[in-house]
Amino acid sequence: MDRSGDIDKIRLAVISDGKPGHENQSLGIAEHIPDSDILLLRHNLRESVPEFLLRLQTRFTSNWKADPRPLLNRIFPREEIEQLVSHKPEAVIAAGTLSAAPCLLAGALTGAKTCICMKPSMLRLSKFDLAVVPEHDNPPDTSKIVRTKAAPNRVSPERLSDEWEVWKGELPGDGNVISWVIGGPSASAGFDSSRVLDALEKSLEWAEKNNVQVWLSTARRTPESLEESILKLSETRRSLTWTLLWHRDQRNPLYAMFHRSKLAIVTSDSVSMIAEAASAGMGPVVLRAGEKSTGQITKQDRMVDKIVSAGYGTRADPSDNLVEILSGMLTRDTEFPCLDDTSKAADRLLQIIGRR
């Protein structure tokens, strides 16, 4: 590849496990760096004995630093490793436990600085040149760590506008619009479909009385049974003017929805969708979608507490205050602030690679 026109570009490599939430954190930081030239490499590592041994080796041995290729050959095809070398990245960015060891290996091979998002299991943050960790994970206060209120993401005014241009032909009408974003159960968050459906019905009834349109999108983890209930509801509630059900149409319309909406309701299970809504200035109404069976406070709860206490969003419970919150937020004169964690992380990475 002729890179003669890219001399001033900041070359970055993103290592991804293919999970949208993780990949968007890494790409978000990379894309928030002006004039970046981004190489994306996806791997197929999954939780297994070989993957665990890989992390074990990168944590407790140092011989891989001199020659990381043998370990990288287990992760990427040879041609992708050569592509990484020829790209000459100044930084390698990754998110999540499964991408942490590949990030260190890629950094050792290319001499690039390494940046990890989230606290990886077993690997110390001190092994990386920069770690981007949410406050709710209680990271240490050191110069190598950027503490965030939520997850980095790809939200920017330009991306929201670009996504609107892609989707505006499908999204209907003028007037006041609010967005509903529904996730689903996970290992770390409770999710009660009946609770979510009850809240949706109440908000649709309120929307009809107040001449408000509701746009709704489900996600990869949303139970298909809940999607069927939403489909039936869309046939009877005229305020639900647009719906995307993920298991029928596997696309992501959130940025376009946020570009046009006055506010967004997001279920409490999804760290990434809450962070995106807050970063887009939606002042997200975080709907308590369920409780953990153990009754313990989840990482999602701690993150939402940080966002709400800083004025970027509001908590709601479908059994009492959802409609009141919607009425108050829709009539307020001031815009909601935009959470800007991603720019903070990108600025710190620029400092580390000597570009600022």
Q: Which residue has the higher pLDDT, 346 or 175?
A: 346
Q: Which helix (DSSP H) or strand (DSSP E) does residue 179 occupy? A: strand 177-181
Percent helix, percent strand, percent coil in the chain, to nearest 5: 40, 15, 40
Would you say residue 1 has pLDDT above 50? no
pLDDT, residue 302, reads 85
Spell out the residues 6+ positions from residue 30 whose beta carbon is closer than 8 angstroms to its own: 12, 14, 36, 38, 93, 346
Q: Which residue has the higher pLDDT, 327 or 182?
A: 182
> Residue 340, Cβ neighbours under 10 Å: how many?
16
Supply the DSSP symbol for 128.
S
Q: What's residue 294's pLDDT?
A: 59
Asked if the model's pLDDT at residue 30 lies above 70, the reply is yes
> What's the confidence (pLDDT) of residue 201?
95
Q: What is the pLDDT of residue 4?
A: 42
Average pLDDT score over residue span 199-215: 95
Grade residue 44 by pLDDT with cuts at 50, 70 and 90.
very high
Is pLDDT at 347 greater than 70 in this prediction? yes
Q: Is this prediction's pTM over 0.95?
A: no
For residues 294 and 301, the model is more confident at 301
What is the arithmetic mean of pLDDT over 322-326?
90
pLDDT at 104: 98
Residues 113 and 66: beta-carbon distance below 8 Å? no
| Terminal C-alpha separation, the chain | 27
Class of domain 157-330 (CATH, top level) = alpha beta
Mean pLDDT of 61-73: 96
Least confident interval from 173-177, 193-197, 260-264, 274-278: 173-177
Instruction: Write the pLDDT tens digit of every residue in 169-200.
Output: 999 978 899 999 999 998 778 899 999 999 99
Rounded-to-integer distance, Cα 102 and Cα 76, Å: 9
Question: Can you read off the two tokens belonging to residue 267?
Answer: 């279920």
Mean pLDDT of the chain, nearest integer? 92
Please, which pLDDT band fits residue 142 given cuts at 50, 70 and 90?
A: very high
Decide if pLDDT at 129 tops 70: yes
Q: State the residue for tokens 């509801």.
A: 233
Which CATH number does 4-149+342-352 carry?
A: 3.40.50
Would you state the pLDDT for residue 341?
Answer: 94
Q: Domain residues of the chain, as ranges? A: 4-149+342-352, 157-330
Same fold, 4-149+342-352 and 157-330: yes
Predicted confidence band of residue 2 (pLDDT cuts 50, 70, 90): very low
329 vs 334, residue with greater confidence:
329
How large is the average pLDDT for residues 63-73?
96
Is 49's pLDDT higher than 70? yes
User: Taking 90 as the threshold, does the pLDDT of residue 283 lie above it?
Assistant: yes
Give the pLDDT of residue 3: 45
The structure tokens listed for 119 are 């606290």
Average pLDDT over every residue of 105-128:
96
% of the chain exceeding 90 in pLDDT: 81
pLDDT of 15 higher than 70: yes
